[in-house]
Structure 1
Amino acid sequence: MTHASIHAALRRVLSTAALLLALPLAAQAAPVAQGAQDKDLSAAQAAERESGGDQLLVLSYHDVRDDVARKGDPDAYAVSTQNFAAHLDWLSGHGYRPVSLSDVIKASRGELKLPPKAVLLTFDDGLRSIYTHVFPLLRAYNYPALMAVVTGWVDLPKDQKVDYGPRMFTHDDFVTWDQLREMQASGLVEISSHSDNLHRGVTSNPQGNTMPAAITREWSVKAQRYETEAEYLDRVRRDLTASKTKIERELGVSPHSVVWPYAAYNSQTNDIADKLGMSVTFDLEGRHQTIGRDLHGLARLLVFDNPTIQDLTFELRHDTELDGVRALQVDLDYVYDKDPAQQARNLDKLIERIKQVGPSHVFLQAFADPDGNGSADALYFPNRQLPMRADLFNRVAWQIKTRARAKVFAWLPVLGYELPDKTLDAQLAIKSSNPAETHRLNPFDPRTREIVAQIYEDLAISGYTEGLLFHDDAFLRDDELRGIAPAAPAARTQALIDFTQELTRAAGKWRPKLITVRNLFAAPVLQPKSESWFAQDLAAFNNAYDYTAVMAMPWMENSRDPQRWMDQLVERVKASPRGLSHTIFELQTVDWRDKSKPIPAEQLKRMARRLQADGARHLAWYPDDFIADRPSTADAREIMSARGFPYLEK
């Protein structure tokens, strides 16, 4: 995968989250009172953010050229010299105060306080334009900046080229050491490592996909195996050591930061950087942050598509908290097929449907449940505990991200695993009074906690995911595990929350900043006393997770009046703290009571309109039958698209 293709995939995912929802259903406004309240809150947050002395805005630039097209330039990360100068002028005129990386480090240590509206400019890749176009403007405005250079590109031999996207780049397209020395001597420019040779993709699975080298255990076609954890970390360590050594040798200073290529990093690679003296790292998610002791993963606003002042102002001021989630929950069991050709056709169908519908998120099944009993018989990624049905999750997730432009969250059970060791499985199984109950493991047994934590860690190291959806198997009846589980319903609820947070930390070793979503049955929302039967509670979930996906499924609950049932559910959610802002209403698209008969599309549309008119911000549905195209792509687009009008992107 080229520099441009990986960056383009990342840009599409970032931009999707920032789109205003403008479809007839996807953009129905919340009631005026709620909208006004959100607007006032957003204005207050913005004022606090702009006046707070401990806040930092970081902007991420790449190339700056005179000949960049107004929109649609072949290099989406290039900014015109005119627009870049206008950005500096606007920032200066609106009270932004430039700071250096050294200032940020001192602020983190309590040695100084950042000024109000502090801004740090960063420039990735070490292109020649940072010397010819950026540096003169930095001197004119007296703005400091951080330059992140790929040392292997600075040293690129005359006869070699780099595939930078719109064209092949040569030695003359990158900054030289002499130019870096001159900029550093000015006192305005600090140099960061951008790796030596990690700004590339490596083969990430047997199907041949490529992913960023810094976070991927490489698949060897010759050896037919993945790198071991030790081999992978040693490769990263050797590369980062080479980059640091070159910077020290040529510039006489040791870099304090590493800008990971494509903002792809994890806690283990950050630990390597820390030991080499580079304790500051950067992300490409978010815009502002409060500076504390930990300077890992500083949020940066990625500047792309040659933004004008109006574009930049919108990005800085609009409240992303108001962006809605539109999610399709997808069974990977429908993609899997023993016949590789049929499996490839199934995958193409899925990707094409997601491209056409345009959801913001896909909740992708990472476990195999061919018997449909709700517990995992196998997994779709290499792991230490269960059989691997196929090494498929990483491939499908990465295809959805890069080809269909949606964020992918891994959907996994919490307790519902059928262990291959039947003796151990029987020892750990929760003994339920209902033989039809989902097979689950005892979360209070240390063996269960270790097994499931390893599954989540193996998921994270095996491939791409931006978040976790905890399956609806995470419940605990009041007659189960008596004498082991807490008797009080709230205590059992919290115990399961604590377990899922352990799992998030296990996955977070390899995937930082994971977004968490937890499935919730409707009964504890509509009848709070039923928490004792589920160990689930909406307020507790919305406090613990980024989102709660409430199962807004009236047919599953045998409701005689589905719309009235849904209205009652919305009112209950409204009454809960952070209810509408953190709750995803997950609709059902089939009636499982009647041989999985499809819910009529017009009824789904009416229900979605009513939900949004009542203030619901986030919608999802399950199942999304991409094989049979049910609900139809046209209906799915109308209800579940996060894309602006017109519906289709060219």
Structure 2
Amino acid sequence: MSRRAIFVLTHALALLLAVFAAPAAASGLLVLSYHDVRDDVARKGDADLYAVSTQNFAAHLDWLAGHGYRPVSLDDVIAASRGERTLPDKAVLLTFDDGLRSVYTRVFPLLRAYGYPALVAVVTDWVDLPPGRTIDYGPRPFDRDDFLTWEQLREMQASGLVEVASHSHDLHHGVNANPQGNTTPAAVTRIYDPQRRRYESEAEYLARIRRDLATSAGTIERELGRRPRAMVWPYAAYSSQTNRIADELGMRVTFDLEGRSQKVTGDLHGLARLLLMDNPNVGDLAYELRHDEELEGLRGLQIDLDYVYDPDPEQAARNLDKLVERVKQIGPTHVFLQAFADPDGNGSADALYFPNRHLPMRADLFNRVAWQLRTRAEVKVFAWLPVLGFELPDPAQRQELAIHSRNPAETFRLDPFKPQTRRIVSEIYEDLAVNSYIEGLLFHDDALLREDELVGVAPATPTARTQALIDFTLELHRAAGKWRPKLVTVRNLFAAPVLQPGSEAWFAQRLDAFNRAYDYTAVMAMPWMEGSREPQAWLDRLLEEVARSPDGLARTVFELQTVDWRTDRPIPTERLKAQVRRLLARGARHVAWYPDNFIDDVPPLRDAREAISARSFPYIER
């Protein structure tokens, strides 16, 4: 038997074991998201990635019914949130986006046969599409025969099985998001006007969203006699501000596409949905519902945007292409992308790469690069930004707000206990979120406080100083979260507080406190930076100490160094690969490195792909 055949059989056996032996997902509300349902969908690789075959959809309903899932309606969910009704165990709500004709011709008959209720979210501008008009839906232009009519919606609503939600009136498309011409989802983007060289103001943006949602809700009420109670955001792109507008228009339930199930509470905004893609069969569905997401490892590259920047736009574009191609070939899960400019390499921000209220903008570059990495390299992009290290342009203000360290080589930082600092940095994080399509935040290693700094101002004990800085970063998370909900948080941690707990006094950092506060802690597993003479033994000890901490291995990213900054030479790639292998073999779950130098191919692409790719079988994509 060939090695490939053995690999395929082993993979298939692992899948079967995961599907039929693993425990079911935790009890809660499961929301499934479907789009088109057709008879002729390819088994895999259909031109419409979001289409599901009629046969597979019917099999999903059979499997759900046979495995104890109980169908619920939106009305059941709302009643449960008010304490008026109890949802059954393993409750499942079916949702169908975009208002496609197949919901009436293929789905509705099956809903009636199985007695399953559903929520159908329509783009009101697409319902009863005028003759001759088409929508660029992806696989081909869709016309009036591809979308629902109001008459069909009335019939389905009258059955008592279907409730109609808004999917916006005209937000299901991208709009110009930056000077370079990238398009991002209309519901969360401040439109850039190249003629006037300006972005939409907050007031203009919110007024545009309100007009759209009011038009959609008003149209549904006029045509169907009922005002929609739910808003299904196109592309799952929304914010607390857009949810507030939906609330005011009577749509107090909103959905996104992150997660599998959740407990129902009084807040029904941002309900998680499982998006069904690539025509999943019953085995695929079962795997998605039963596999433990907590066991999935993070593989990250921390990347300097300073390497992409060039005053020549054409050179910057070439640099960006080189970065995207490298990331795509390596195949990590995450990129931690520098959002600040630090050309002098002193660890603090001289400028930023996004429009903001407080620092110079070196170039309007971050959003473009983040979006290109997300869409072309298919990675999750986290913004890497200082917490305190912002060199404000006004010398008097900078002096007034600075932490005055006795060590002249110390990273410049602002005093977090001054209200003006808190306001300025919070506004920087808010401006980042307004202008950037990101999925998380990496808090830079500048968030530290020495025991001889701010004496009489900062809390007296190391534990209290640690918590004070944590509280400040959580405040920054909330500021960004106003425009980007559900941001994942990661914070850099020096190795010394892990290896020598008493050094918390010198850093105001502690692993267990970080792992309680953030989704991940990125410990700087950099033995050469720490001057170790035995790097591997040093890393072994670091991992042992992390493993002793509660949830240590589950929540900690081991961030390796790829360069020995004492000599400015790359770490030998065989040694780097050996470090990754040993960390994983000894129980580490998440690994990243810094820097990833895409300009000079350091570490070399072949070795980088072998060491840190998230693919189970790394290969070059053609």
TM bracket (short chain): over 0.9
1:547-606, CA deviations, whole angstroms, 9 ceiling, x for partnerless residues? 000000000000000000001000000000110000000000000011x10000000111
Q: CA deviation at 1:155?
A: 3.8
Which residue of structure 2 aligns with residue 4 of structure 1?
none
Which residue of structure 1 aligns with residue 612 of structure 2?
640
- Of 267, 271, 279, which residue of structure 2 is paired with 1:298? 271
Which residue of structure 1 aligns with residue 238 of structure 2?
265
1:111-139, CA deviations, whole angstroms, 9 ceiling, x for partnerless residues? 01000110000000000000000000000
Amino acid at match of 1:630: V
Which residue of structure 2 aligns with residue 83 of structure 1?
56
1:455-466 matched pairs, under 5 angstroms: 455-466=428-439
Amino acid at match of 1:634: R
1:92-121, CA deviations, whole angstroms, 9 ceiling, x for partnerless residues? 111110000000000000001000110000
Which residue of structure 2 aligns with residue 17 of structure 1?
none
1:269-348 matched pairs, under 5 angstroms: 269-348=242-321
- Of 363, 367, 379, which residue of structure 2 is paired with 1:394? 367
Distance 1:392 1:137 in 2: 49
1:139-218 matched pairs, under 5 angstroms: 139-218=112-191
- Of 556, 560, 584, which residue of structure 2 is paired with 1:587? 560
1:298-352, CA deviations, whole angstroms, 9 ceiling, x for partnerless residues? 0100001000101111011001111000000000000000111111111011001
- Of 116, 121, 127, which residue of structure 1 is paired with 2:89? 116
Which residue of structure 2 aligns with residue 518 of structure 1?
491
Which residue of structure 2 aligns with residue 369 of structure 1?
342
The answer to whether the aligner puts 1:528 opposite 2:501 as a matched pair is yes
Which residue of structure 2 aligns with residue 219 of structure 1?
192
- Of 350, 358, 363, which residue of structure 2 is paired with 1:385? 358
Between 322-331 and 606-615, the greater mean CA deviation after superposition: 606-615
Q: TM-score, with normalisation over the residues of structure 1?
A: 0.92
The answer to whether the aligner puts 1:610 opposite 2:582 as a matched pair is yes
1:389-425, CA deviations, whole angstroms, 9 ceiling, x for partnerless residues? 0000000000000001100000000000000011010
Which residue of structure 2 aligns with residue 31 of structure 1?
none
Q: CA deviation at 1:160?
A: 1.2
Distance 2:229 2:244 in 1: 13
1:4-23 matched pairs, under 5 angstroms: none
SS at 1:146 equivalent: strand
- Of 569, 593, 597, which residue of structure 2 is paired with 1:621? 593
SS at 1:371 equivalent: coil
Distance 1:56 1:248 in 2: 28
The answer to whether the aligner puts 1:574 opposite 2:567 as a matched pair is no
SS at 1:593 equivalent: coil
SS at 1:401 equivalent: helix
> 2:330–2:605: 8 Å Cα contact kept in structure 1?
yes
SS at 2:546 equivalent: helix
1:147-185, CA deviations, whole angstroms, 9 ceiling, x for partnerless residues? 000000004221211000110011111000000000000
Which residue of structure 2 aligns with residue 548 of structure 1?
521
**CA 1:556–1:214 in 2, change beyond 3 Å: closer, same or farther?**
same
Which residue of structure 1 aligns with residue 405 of structure 2?
432
Q: CA deviation at 1:77?
A: 0.5
Q: CA deviation at 1:144?
A: 0.2
Amino acid at match of 2:496: A
Amino acid at match of 2:593: W
Give the number of equivalent residue pairs. Answer: 605
Distance 1:170 1:606 in 2: 56
The answer to whether the aligner puts 1:473 opposite 2:446 as a matched pair is yes
Distance 1:202 1:607 in 2: 44
Identity fraction in percent = 73
Distance 1:223 1:477 in 2: 47
Q: CA deviation at 1:646?
A: 4.7
Distance 1:404 1:561 in 2: 36
> 2:341–2:350: 8 Å Cα contact kept in structure 1?
yes
> 2:22–2:290: 8 Å Cα contact kept in structure 1?
no
Which residue of structure 1 aligns with residue 15 of structure 2?
none
Which residue of structure 2 aligns with residue 495 of structure 1?
468
Q: CA deviation at 1:499?
A: 0.1
Which residue of structure 1 aligns with residue 104 of structure 2?
131
Q: CA deviation at 1:444?
A: 0.1
1:340-359 matched pairs, under 5 angstroms: 340-359=313-332
Amino acid at match of 1:640: I
Which residue of structure 1 aligns with residue 201 of structure 2?
228
> 2:174–2:184: 8 Å Cα contact kept in structure 1?
yes
SS at 1:502 equivalent: helix
Amino acid at match of 1:324: G
Which residue of structure 1 aligns with residue 218 of structure 2?
245
Amino acid at match of 1:66: D
**CA 1:649–1:145 in 2, change beyond 3 Å: closer, same or farther?**
farther
SS at 2:566 equivalent: helix
SS at 1:262 equivalent: helix
Amino acid at match of 2:178: N
> 2:30–2:273: 8 Å Cα contact kept in structure 1?
yes
SS at 1:411 equivalent: strand
Which residue of structure 2 aligns with residue 418 of structure 1?
391
RMSD of equivalent CA atoms: 1.2
**CA 1:627–1:646 in 2, change beyond 3 Å: closer, same or farther?**
closer
SS at 2:404 equivalent: coil
Q: TM-score, with normalisation over the residues of structure 2?
A: 0.96
Which residue of structure 2 aligns with residue 69 of structure 1?
42
Q: Which has the higher contact order (CA 8 A, sep 6+)?
A: 1
Which residue of structure 1 aligns with residue 75 of structure 2?
102
**CA 1:43–1:80 in 2, change beyond 3 Å: closer, same or farther?**
closer
Which residue of structure 1 aligns with residue 4 of structure 2?
none
Distance 2:145 2:583 in 1: 57
Distance 1:335 1:138 in 2: 52
Distance 2:253 2:167 in 1: 12
SS at 1:60 equivalent: strand
Distance 2:487 2:360 in 1: 25
Distance 2:592 2:472 in 1: 25
Q: CA deviation at 1:43?
A: 5.8
Distance 1:204 1:377 in 2: 24
Q: CA deviation at 1:643?
A: 1.5
1:439-458 matched pairs, under 5 angstroms: 439-458=412-431
Distance 1:209 1:176 in 2: 33
Q: CA deviation at 1:464?
A: 0.8
SS at 1:568 equivalent: helix
